[in-house]
Amino acid sequence: MGLLPLLVLVLMVCVSVIDSQDSCNPNPCLNGGTCTMSPEHALQCTCTNHYSGYYCTVGRCGENGVCMYERLRLHVPQRNERCDEIYGYLCVCKNGYDGDGFNCTRSVRCGENAVCIYGAFGLYVSSMNERCDEKSGYYCACDYDYEGDGFNCTKKTNKSPK
């Protein structure tokens, strides 16, 4: 057997081995993305909500979310708040909001001499100045000897009869 047919045979075996490899194992898609192979043996990531990009690394920050450069914690305005994690960016909620940067809800800090209460049952949840999420059924209420709206509480005064 000559050198040329032997090289062709080795090349065919190498192409066959490379062709049979599964580029989706391990899954290169990030943030919950799903990897599939196209008929041309190219990998393709199907991204979950909020993410896009070849490997699902580009996040679109939600309402009340901003794109931050992770190392410096600087707000870096991106077009439509697109954050690419590959380059060290991430979505975080703006001040006054809690969440993952994609779903941010208004966080409320109860006032001095107030507590966070849950719903109709009036269950005590947390002490003053902790966050109290009104959208989830929580609200701020003044302590027993105080009156007000839960943010501005003043000591109740005893009105003496004349």
User: Which of 106, 109, 108, 110 minimizes the C-alpha distance to 65?
Assistant: 106
User: Which of 114, 109, 107, 113 minimizes the C-alpha distance to 141?
Assistant: 114
Other Cβ atoms less than 10 A from the Cβ of 132: the count is 23
> 72: which residues sit within 8 A by CB, 6+ positions away?
none
- The confidence score (pLDDT) of residue 98 equals 78
The answer to whether 115 and 126 have CB atoms below 8 angstroms apart is yes
The answer to whether 100 and 126 have CB atoms below 8 angstroms apart is no
Six-digit token string for 139: 């609200």
- The confidence score (pLDDT) of residue 72 equals 64
- The confidence score (pLDDT) of residue 20 equals 46
The pTM is what? 0.49
- The confidence score (pLDDT) of residue 126 equals 57
- The confidence score (pLDDT) of residue 45 equals 94
DSSP class of 87: G
- Residue that has been written with the tokens 């065919």 in this structure: 12
Of all residues in the chain, the percent with pLDDT exceeding 70 is 68
Listed as ranges, residues in the chain with pLDDT below 70 are 1-21, 71-81, 120-131, 133-136, 159-162
Distance CA 98, CA 8 (A): 61
